Amino acid sequence: MTMKTIQSIESPEAVQRQIVTAENLSAGYPDKIVWRDASFSFDRGELVAIIGPNGAGKTTLFRLLLGLQQPISGTIKIFNEPPKRGNSRIGYVPQRHVIDSETNIECMELVHLAFCGHLWGFHLSSKIDRKAAFDALTAVGAAELAHQPLCDLSGGELQRIFLAEALVSKPDILLLDEPLSSLDIRRAKELVQLVDSVVRSRNVTALLVAHDINPLLPYLDKVVYIANGKVAIGKPQDVLTSERLSALYDVHVEVIRDSRGNVAIIGIEDSVQADE
């Protein structure tokens, strides 16, 4: 109740804009807190990168938003409500590496099921369902893959299909867990461009977990850096500085930029190993 009164003081536009808000949020498991005291908000139409070392709790943030995990303390809200399972306004692409080579199912069927697979009973040939699936495939430039079996696709094509699977229910926020991890630099850049165009054209928010921030940098509105149990959030040029990260992590961190604007963060991930 107190949260509601606080928010009603804020301008209605700001509340409308905010898709995700978190205050003093700590996440993890009762016996092991992964990160603590994070406060942030993501607005409508923002492209946000979530970066940090393995096991730092990037996927944990997604599980909180999907309602698959509860916060240890603090609050997190999505669309102004606590997260709940089965929220159709969220499009989710989990971290995945391979599709089994025996899975001979056409792409359209997967996207189709993402649209209506949660419903009981069956509907032999719903034109609305199939059109929604086809539209989603068209939106990611994969219309010509509609009837290809999933097992025949390349890594880049698969990620486009997964994106279509997430988009088919017309979500307001996309959660993309390491979609770039199995792609080479060129395919990664193409996919980021695709995500960016989806974000701009549909005015959705996209949170994208990545290992390497560089393919994303030209498109980002915000970056979330998670490491050593702490979370840094802001515009990339504000967060990714030696001073800011050194102060947050209490170790000497160097953020190095090359002539093309590529960024390397040195010092944090080493110190994790030193701690353990």
Partner 1 sequence: MTMAFSANLLFDLEQMFQYQFMQHAFEAGTLVAIIAGIVGYFVVLRRSSFAAHSLSHIGFAGAAGAVLFGISPVFGLLLFTSVGGVGMTVLGPRASHRDVQIGTVLAFMLGLGVLFISLYSGYATEAYSILFGEILGISSTDVLVTAIAGVIILSIVAVVYRPLLFASLDEDVAEAKGLHMHALGIIFMLLVALATSIAVQVVGVLLIFSLMVTPAAIAQRLANQPWRALTISVIVSLTATWLGLFVAFYEPYPVSFFITSIVFILYLLARLVYPKIRPQKAHQTGFHRITQGGQRTFLETKIVVAQHVNNSPGNVRIGY
Binding site for partner 1 (CB under 8 A): 66, 68, 85-88, 90, 92-94, 96, 100, 102-106, 108-110, 113-114, 116-124, 130-131, 134, 143-144, 146-149, 165-166
Nearer to partner 1, 149 or 267 (CB): 149
β partners of residue 50? 209, 224
Angle at 201 between CA 14 and CA 221, to 5 degrees: 55
Shorter beta-carbon distance to partner 1: residue 46 or 165: 165
Find all residues with CB under 8 Å of 37, minimum gap 6, and list them. 24, 25, 26, 74, 230, 231
Query: Which residue lies nearer to partner 1 by CB, 37 or 190?
Result: 190
Which value, in Å, is the radius of gyration of the alpha carbons in the chain? 19
Report the residue number, 12 or 121, with the smaller CB distance to partner 1.
121
Complex with partner 1: residue 73 or 126, whichever CB lies closer: 126
Minimal distance in Å, beta carbon 90 to partner 1?
Answer: 7
SS3 36: strand
Give the contacts of 100 (CB within 8 A, at least 6 positions apart): 151
The two three-digit tokens of residue 222, written as one number = 């915000």
Sheet of 47-51, strand order: 90-93, 173-177, 205-209, 47-51, 222-227, 230-234
Running DSSP on this structure, what letter comes out for residue 66? T
CB of 84 to partner 1, least distance (A): 8
Q: Closer to partner 1 at the Cβ: 4 or 127?
A: 127
- Rounded least distance, CB 14 to partner 1, Å: 28
Please tell me the distance from the alpha carbon of residue 90 to that of residue 96, in angstroms, as a whole number: 18
According to DSSP, the β-strands at 205-209 and 47-51 are parallel
As measured in angstroms, the least distance from the Cβ of 59 to partner 1 is 11
Question: Taking the complex as a whole, how short is the minimal distance between the CB of residue 213 and partner 1, in angstroms?
Answer: 24
Is the Cβ of residue 137 or residue 192 nearer to partner 1 in the bound state? 137
CB of 143 to partner 1, least distance (A): 7
Q: How far is the CB of 260 from partner 1 (least distance, A)?
A: 26
Q: What is the DSSP string of 23-75?
A: EEEEEEETTEEEEEEEEEEEETT-EEEEE-STTSSHHHHHHHHTTSS--SEEE
